[in-house]
Structure 1
């Protein structure tokens, strides 16, 4: 496995991760925690991912703005990725949104992608069976792997190993690598459904 795994360690990420681990918190608090984690993980990604350009306003006065040459796409893995997206969209308000329900694309990915397209994929738990066909579609349409980032709350070691065999240069941001998450994935998703959708 040669994936680039980034464990987000910002103090606010640690705080909201702690809130999320407390099963005694009501669903509204846990949902807020997920939204905040989506925002702060996206912030960590954006620090070195966003491209800025210098614009001259008048003589001896310049400003730096996000480059208008790049297109940003947020891919939301349904049904739970949208909770992370609530926070992420506040940092990338002009990004195009693509909804994916496992292997079925709900809102179509643009047909023409290129080296100026940056893609952020959001899901609660990393799922290789969903990510691999999605990446294949992006690359086929012209996207560059180095411009694709995956953000999730937790990922399992076996899922990472499977992805690493195919996408060795893929970059993943998460709050935790869990050796048990693969076995617990279904029950954990059921827990989220029970807490968030009551």
Structure 2
């Protein structure tokens, strides 16, 4: 059976609510940050369902022994926020994965070619193939940045099957690029928008997530 990119748009009412808040041009920066935190929290919750490795052991309750299931600490979990905007989802993501290591990666988009170049990379030289990697990238527009990030991650030994991307608004063109290159990938998004304008921005989108998060 051929592999196919899977994009999950969870129908959770809280995700829909906070997406509406984030989209609204009248939302002030402070409330926009809250919406991004909440979206980061709920999308991370959805993305980690049946993805985190677990282990079973017996424990003692105050009344009797019983079996219990725990997250396996032997399998590393990593969060990779794509700067700047990826930081907006971090508080929510870390609330769900408080023990995950965080490695920052920064990209800037060339407004003429719409491709991305890296200006900061804190990833270690190599990571085990079993490492679970959650990539935080609020907007998948042309796909240039996320394609560059995926190429970097896979070059360091990460298995594509163990990567999850959380994003707020996505475009069909970015998803198609990812599907062609990484059909094993799983993406968790608040919505898939109609497309891009002539400048490569998502429509209807939510504006510049980085600027709105940091009030710049």
TM over 0.5: yes
> What are the Cα deviations for residues 119-147 of structure 1, in whole angstroms up to 9, with x where unaligned?
00011101522222322222222211110
Deviates more, 1:173-182 or 1:159-168: 173-182
CA–CA distance in structure 2, aligned partners of residues 105 and 65 of structure 1: 38
User: Which is further off, 33-42 or 177-186?
Assistant: 177-186
Q: Which residue of 1 aligns with 2:113?
A: none
Counterpart position of 1:104? 118
Pairwise CA distance, 1:60: 4.1
- The structure whose residues are more often helix, as a share, is 1
Distance 1:99 1:158 in 2: 25
User: For the residues of structure 1 that align with 2:209 and 2:191, how far apart are their CA atoms?
Assistant: 18
Q: Is the 8 A contact 2:171 2:202 kept in 1?
A: no
1:49 aligns with 2:51: yes
**Aligned-pair distance for 1:92?**
0.7
> Structure 2: any 5+ residue segments left out of the alignment?
108-116
Partner SS state of residue 43, structure 1 = helix
In 1, the alpha carbon distance for the partners of 2:159 and 2:93 equals 21
- The aligned counterpart of 1:197 is 215
User: Which residue of structure 2 aligns with residue 131 of structure 1?
Assistant: 146
For 2:164, the equivalent position in structure 1 comes to: 149
Q: Distance in 2 between matches of 1:195 and 1:94?
A: 25
What do residues 88-125 of structure 1 show as CA deviations (whole Å, max 9, x unaligned)?
Answer: 01111111111111142635212232232000001110
Tell me if 1:184 matches 2:186. Answer: no
Name which of structure 1's ranges 18-27 and 5-14 shifts more when overlaid on structure 2: 18-27
What is the CA–CA distance in structure 2 between the aligned matches of 1:65 and 1:191, rounded to whole Å?
35
Q: Which runs of 5+ in 1 are unaligned?
A: none
**Corresponding residue of 1:69:** 74
Q: Structure 1-normalised TM-score?
A: 0.89
1:55, CA displacement in angstroms?
1.8
Q: Determine if contact 2:88/2:210 at 8 Å carries over to the other structure.
A: no
Q: TM-score, normalised by structure 2?
A: 0.82
TM-fit CA distance, 1:7: 0.7
SS in 1 for 2:137: strand
User: Residues 4-23 of structure 1: matches in 2 within 5 Å?
Assistant: 4-23=6-25
Out of 72, 91, 96, the residue aligned to residue 91 of structure 1 is 96
Native 8 Å contact 1:155 1:181 kept in 2: no
